[in-house]
Amino acid sequence: METKKIVLNDIDYITFNDKAVIRLFGIDPDSQENIIAYDDSFKPYMYVLSDDYDNCISQLKELDLNNCIKESKIDIGVEREFIKIIFDHPQEVPKLRDTIRDLPSVIQIREYDIPFYRRYLIDKQITPSNILELHGKTIDKGTYDNLSIDDDVILFKLEESPADTHKHSTRNKILSFDIEVYNAQGMPNAQDDAIIMMSLSSNHGLNKVLSTKKSRHEYVETFDTEEDMLKGFVKLIKEENPDMLVGYNSDVFDLPYIKKRADVLNVELDLGVDGSSVKFQKRGFNNAGIIKGRVHVDLYLLARQYMQLDHYTLERVYLELFDEEKIDVPGDKIFEYWDSDSDQLEELFDYSMDDARTTMEIGEKITPLTVAQSRLVGQPLFDIARMTTGQMIEWYLMLKAYHMNNIVPNKPTSSEYNQRMNSKRNAGGYVKEPEKGLFENIAYLDFKSLYPSIIIAQNISPDTITDGEGLSTDEYYECPENGYKFKKEPKGFIPSLIGEILNERQRIKRLMKTETKPEQKKALDFEQQGLKRLANSMYGAYGYSRFRWYKKECGAAITAWGRQYIQDAMEKSKEFGFKPVYADTDGFYATYIGKID
């Protein structure tokens, strides 16, 4: 049996001979070769909660579902028996779930809506963006007949499940891309308006603009036709073989435009490691551009997630991150600069090159945090780059739920969601309006991780909330103001995880103090930032109406205890000669006026 190592960049599944086959896309960290590993041993499944298990299994067998086993799982703190139904193919799950749900003996179905490739990552406890060890054998290119794979891609058939080595990869090859299009008619139309420039910039030294016009700039490569330029674009990306292909608003504009022009001109846009073309998948309100095996990241989405700005143009984001102005050309004048064949054309080349260069620099600056989040949450970088913080928390909890034998709660039904949305909002943190005036001897006092600490200290979790019946008062914590009660033992599912997160963050921060290698120190810093975001966002997730572990009472209790703690701290500060002048949620400003005897 062979052993190979890959940096896991991407994952999906294909159907071959009526069987679902997981594909792991990665790069050998030593040889830098692309590897696609195939695993046909994993099967999809879902769970059923029944009031008559024997009868339920009989009814399932009538549906030709013969692979059913009983499993004991923890369901919001309560141990229950479930029937695990194992299917032959992922497509059977959505096809049969409603039929199964409607069986007379079925109370509820669970974990039926977890995509197959994500289920694989969770169950195997595999972490994307890390180095994995694969055990199996190299197979021929013709094994999967419907794939058009380049000769420099190694196909590997897994015979044993990959073991996550938890080793972070130091490889971080980023390639940015940007296009300029002819826009004499105003808003360009990909059916008719040509791409006039395609710029690329890599953190490994590449800076190039492809165009159908000549330039005095050395970084410009000229092609006879737009078709040739598109082929050159594909060839260059394959040669560079980046881990991450980044653009700015590329989900909405650049990639769809490139794809449409390639279709119009009959150019094969086979950018995928498996020889596939660019595809688009619905994500939220927009489509996301997928390039198999090469992680495409739209930096516009990350900028919106990480930064608080008045607007999010490439120029504004670059200025905020680097305190530098980038080259600009009026968008509605691009066709005029192109037609000028003078200094304005050279300015347009400079502008196009600068777009790619600044996009790459932004990518280098902000994607390491996204990579760290991918490792923490255990989901692919492509998906993490398009998730909200609340969605990341949910997938992190689903990862940990499997590890702790907890069954995942269902998403809310439409009626449940509407009910949550229409319920009265919880009171927020305590705010003391700032006092008017100019103050000296100001001190700022704040609680360290206030809400995460409250969740842990008071054991606030959907599986610990109680009405107190049958318990003595020393067996639960009672919340001020609203009287919600939470059992002290056992430790709740979410509090235990937040405790792990905070402990791990402190461990990493201690490592940072002794780390001497700048790159390693930077990687550790992004990891602790990712942990901080997870911990601090957990409170908000309790009140997010689509959250699987939604519990409004938990959110209300956290803020109630938070208000009590901050007000108690403000009163205590007065004993030491401080006068609070402004407070907000987890900290307050106070001026020192001296102790009064």
Q: What is the pLDDT of residue 143?
A: 78
Q: What whole-number distance in Å separates Cα of residue 321 and Cα of residue 324?
A: 8
pLDDT > 70: what percent of the chain? 97
Residue 295 to residues 65, 177, 271, 329, 557, Cα–Cα distance (Å): 37, 13, 11, 29, 41
Q: What is the pLDDT of residue 540?
A: 84
Q: What whole-number distance in Å separates Cα of residue 85 and Cα of residue 75?
A: 17
Burial 57-78 (b: 16+ CB within 10 A, else e): bebbeeeebeebeeeebebbbe
Pairing label, strands 34-39, 153-168 = parallel
Question: Could you tell me the domains of the chain?
Answer: 2-42+120-167 (2.40.50), 45-116 (3.30.342.10), 174-363 (3.30.420.10), 411-591 (3.90.1600.10)
Interval 379-419: pLDDT, tens: 999 999 999 888 999 999 999 999 999 999 999 999 999 99
Q: Is the bond preceding 452 in cis, omega lying within 30 degrees of 0?
A: no
Q: What is the pLDDT of residue 164?
A: 60
Burial 240-269 (b: 16+ CB within 10 A, else e): bbbbbbbbbbbbbbbbbbbbebbeebebeb
Question: With bands split at pLDDT 50, 70 and 90, how would you rate the model's confidence at 543?
Answer: confident
Q: What is the pLDDT of residue 147?
A: 67
Helix crossing, 343-377 with 299-306: angle to 10°? 60
Q: What whole-number distance in Å separates Cα of residue 303 and Cα of residue 380?
A: 19
- 401 contacts: CB under 8 Å, gap ≥ 6: 407, 408, 493
HSE-CB of 244 using CA atoms within 13 angstroms: 28
Q: Which two tokens stand for residue 298?
A: 């739209």
Residue 597 to residues 48, 441, 575, 576, 577, Cα–Cα distance (Å): 69, 20, 10, 11, 10
Q: What is the pLDDT of residue 517?
A: 83
First to last CA, the chain: 81
CB 346 within 8 A of CB 215: yes
What does the H/E/C string look like for 415-447?
A: HHHHHHHHCCCCCCCCEECCCCCCCCCEEEEEC
Q: What is the pLDDT of residue 142?
A: 77
Q: What is the pLDDT of residue 541?
A: 87
Helix and strand numbers, DSSP H then E, in the chain: 16, 24
Ranges 255-259, 360-364, 522-526: which has the least confidence: 522-526
Which segments within 43-127 are labelled E, that is strand? 45-50, 68-75, 78-86, 106-110
Average pLDDT value for residue range 317-340: 93
Q: What whole-number distance in Å separates Cα of residue 268 and Cα of residue 276?
A: 9
Burial 517-552 (b: 16+ CB within 10 A, else e): eeeeeebbbbbbbbbbbbbbbbbebbbbeebbbbbe
Q: What whole-number distance in Å separates Cα of residue 94 and Cα of residue 109?
A: 12
Pairing label, strands 207-211, 195-202 = antiparallel
Q: From the CA atom positions of the chain, what is the Rg in Å?
A: 28
Q: Which of 436-440, 517-521, 538-542 shows the highest mean pLDDT? A: 436-440
Average pLDDT value for residue range 435-453: 92
> Which of 389, 393, 385, 392 lies closest to 368, judged by CA?
385
Hey, CA dihedral for 368, 372, 378, 384, is it positive or negative?
negative
Q: What is the pLDDT of residue 297?
A: 97
Burial 480-507 (b: 16+ CB within 10 A, else e): eeeebbbbeeebbbbbbbbbebbeebee
Q: What whole-number distance in Å separates Cα of residue 313 and Cα of residue 249?
A: 9
Q: What is the pLDDT of residue 557?
A: 95
Q: Which two tokens stand for residue 356?
A: 């790619």
Percent of the chain as helix, strand, coil, to the nearest 5? 40, 25, 35
CB 70 within 8 A of CB 81: yes
Q: Output the DSSP codes for 526-556.
A: HHHHHHHHHHHHHHHHHT-TT-TT--HHHHH
Interval 155-173: pLDDT, tens: 999 988 776 655 666 668 9
Q: What whole-number distance in Å separates Cα of residue 124 and Cα of residue 8?
A: 13
Task: Bin 282: left if φ > 0, else alpha if -120 < ψ < 50, else beta.
Answer: beta
Phi and psi dihedrals of 137, rounded to 5?
A: -150, 150
Task: Bin 547: left if φ > 0, else alpha if -120 < ψ < 50, else beta.
Answer: beta
Q: What whole-number distance in Å separates Cα of residue 386 and Cα of residue 393?
A: 13
Helix crossing, 493-514 with 450-457: angle to 10°? 130
Interval 14-51: pLDDT, tens: 998 889 999 999 999 888 899 999 999 999 999 999 99
Q: What does pLDDT average to over the chain?
A: 92
